[in-house]
Amino acid sequence: MKQYIIRRLLLIVPMLIGISFIMFIIMHLAPGDPTAIKYGLNSEVSETAKLSFDKMYALDKPILVQYGMWMKRFFSMDFGISFVDGQPVMSKILSRLPATLLLQLVSLFMIFCIAIPIGMISAMKRNSLFDRVTTILVFIGYAMPGFWFALLLVYLFGFRLNWFPISGMSPWYSEYLNTFDKLKDLIWHLVLPVTATVAGSLAALSMYTRSSMIEIMSETYVLTAKAKGLTDKRVMSAHIFRNALLPIVTIAGLTLPGLISGSFIFETIFAWPGMGRLGYEAIMSYDYPVVMGVGVIAVFLTLIGIFLSDVFYAVVDPRIRVDG
């Protein structure tokens, strides 16, 4: 087991390097360049100024040399300087990360808290009214365009009813609020974005839970357990739920990159200062170092997520535990 974990961990390094290389090349293959985007049609900026900008950020060097320079910095945990505002990429990411983490963690928690019980109850009371209504509702949530639903929430609860703030994370006058009010205000600002995020994501997890429960309920060992005379509660917790949890662990592992990459659409509508907007804006302005920084972190977390769910899988499921 230990060796398995070490081997899997070591494999992450070449994968990360390979993916970062592909990302770097694809990014440079896209037509256009950072200087043109920034100063292309600005009559105040002369050609020589553009060239010296290229030189400052080594954009005049061949792609492979640029990649080498990036790699060298990367190994000392330095993602370089943003082309757009001259800030270190790391500090840009760190200033946006808390907002995304907060929104995503709260949403994820809510999704798990709502979707798993829905799935379990639906499975136990298959074809009941509850099963049908929740199935329809979660699919409506899934099928609805997210931006439309988010705007609807903003319009109804923010604008018409005035229950929640329309946008933003913390108001500009937050320095005048005490800690308690700040916290209350933050929760207030979270309600709409979390609702929008949760509504679209319930379907997958609840339906997964439901079908995996139904499958396991028909297993012979469940029948055996019941025949042994175990109570329904005991059968449910010890036999069915534990086994049904397996696919959910996989899903949970794969949500890890989503935690930090954020959602561009919701962050835009709710003016949430997160990573989704940072990444999108970086791509639109050809801010290579930021694109690479955000990208590599997302890739790293994906790889770690897959790794963790594999390890976790082995922990909860003795059948696939690898020997040696």
Residues engaged in binding other proteins (CB under 8 A): 30-33, 36-50, 52-53, 56, 81, 84-88, 92, 95-96, 99, 151, 154-155, 158-159, 162, 165-170, 172-173, 175-176, 267-271, 273-274, 277-278, 281, 286
**Residue nearer to other proteins on the CB measure, 81 or 217:** 81
Quickly count: other Cβ atoms within 10 Å of residue 160's Cβ.
9
The number of beta carbons lying within 10 Å of the beta carbon of residue 137 is 15
Phi, psi at 200, each rounded to 5° = -80, -15
CA–CA distance, 288 with 80 (Å, rounded to integer): 10
Shortest spacing between CB 269 and other proteins, in angstroms: 5
To other proteins, the closest distance from the beta carbon of 284 in angstroms equals 8
Query: Among candidates 136, 132, 141, which has minimal Cα distance to 111?
Result: 141
Question: What Å distances lie between residue 233 and 20, 120, 124, 190, 238, CA to CA?
Answer: 49, 13, 12, 36, 8
Nearer to other proteins, 109 or 148 (CB): 148
Residue 209 CB, shortest distance to other proteins, in Å, is 34
Distance CA 32, CA 35 (A): 9
**Nearer CB in complex with other proteins: 99/203:** 99
Q: CB of residue 162 vs other proteins: minimum separation in angstroms?
A: 7
Min dist CB 29 to other proteins, Å, is: 12
By beta-carbon proximity to other proteins, the closer residue of 75 and 176 is 176
* Complex with other proteins: residue 74 or 164, whichever CB lies closer: 164
Report the first-to-last Cα separation within the chain, whole angstroms. Answer: 6
Burial class (CB in 10 A: 0-12, 13-18, 19+), 222: middle
